[in-house]
Amino acid sequence: MTGRSEDLFDFIASSLHRFVGKGNDSVQSSVTKELGFTFSFTVKKTSVSSGVLIKWTKAFAIKNMVGKEVAGALQQALARKGLNMRVAVLVNDTVGTLALGCYHDADTVAAVIIGTGTNACYWERTDAIIKCQGLLTTSRCMVVNMERGNFLSSHLPRTSYDIELDAESPNPNDQGFEKMISGMYLGDIVRRVILRMSEELDIFGPVSPRLYVPFALRAPAMTAMHEDDSPELSEVAKILKDILDVIDSNIYPSCSFSWAMTLVVCQAYTLALQIPDVPLKSRKLVVKICDVVTRRAAQLVAAGIVGVLKKIGRDGSSGITGGRSRSDIKMRRMAVDVEGSIYTQYTTFRDYLHEALHEILGEDIARHVVISGTERIRDRFMGIPFLLEYCALAFLAHSLLGEMAKLLAQSAVVPALVTSGSHGLCPSKLSGKSKRL
Quick one: pLDDT band at residue 58, thresholds 50, 70, 90? confident
CA distance 431 to 274: 74
- The highest-confidence range among 80-84, 162-166, 424-428, by mean pLDDT, is 162-166
Is residue 121 classed as helix, strand or coil in its secondary structure? strand
* 273 pLDDT higher than 80: no
The whole-number pLDDT of residue 276 equals 57
Q: What is the pLDDT of residue 430?
A: 28
More confident residue, 260 or 177: 177
**Span 199-225, mean pLDDT?**
91
Selection from 181-195, 197-211, 255-269 with the highest mean pLDDT: 181-195
Residues 6+ apart with CB under 8 A from 275: 204, 205, 206, 208, 241, 244, 245
Do 212 and 258 contact (CB within 8 A), yes or no? no
Helix axes 219-226, 183-201, angle to 10 degrees: 70
Nearest to 38, CA basis, from 123, 150, 140, 115? 115
pLDDT over 50 (residue 323): no
* Prediction pTM value: 0.76
- Least confident segment among 65-74, 118-127, 351-360, 386-395: 386-395
Average pLDDT, the chain: 78
- Concatenating the DSSP letter of every residue in 17-53 gives HHHHHTSSS-TT-SSPEEEEEE--SEEEEEETTEEEE
Q: Distance between CA atoms of 315 and 309, rounded to whole angstroms?
A: 5
Q: Which residue has the higher pLDDT, 28 or 357?
A: 357
8 A C-beta contact, residue 335 and residue 372: yes
Query: ∠60-64-68 over CA atoms, to 5°?
Result: 100
Taking only the tens place, the pLDDT of each residue in 139-157 is: 788 899 999 999 988 888 9
Using 50, 70 and 90 to split pLDDT, how confident is the model at 416?
very low
Q: What average pLDDT does the segment 167-191 reach?
A: 94
Q: CB–CB of 397/89 below 8 Å?
A: no
* pLDDT over 70, % of the chain: 73
* E strand or H helix at 385: helix 384-409
Amino acid at 136: L
Tell me the residue type at 133: Q
User: What per-residue confidence (pLDDT) applies to 374?
Assistant: 52
pLDDT mean over 86-112: 91
Fill in the amino acid letter for 270. Answer: T
| Bigger pLDDT: 323 vs 394 | 394
Rama region for 234: left / alpha / beta (φ>0; ψ in -120 to 50; rest)? alpha
Q: Give the phi and the psi of residue 55 in degrees, each rounded to 5.
A: -165, 160
Q: Which of 30-44, 243-257, 400-414 is predicted least confidently? A: 400-414
Mean pLDDT of all residues in 91-95: 90
pLDDT score of 129 more than 60: yes
* Residue 400 pLDDT level (bands cut at 50, 70, 90): very low
pLDDT number for residue 32: 87
More confident residue, 171 or 114: 114
Mean pLDDT of 333-361: 96
Alpha carbon distance 266, 275 (integer Å): 17
For residue 51, pLDDT beyond 80: yes
Question: Per mean pLDDT, which of 204-213, 274-283, 361-370 is the most reliable?
Answer: 361-370
pLDDT over 90 for what percent of the chain? 46
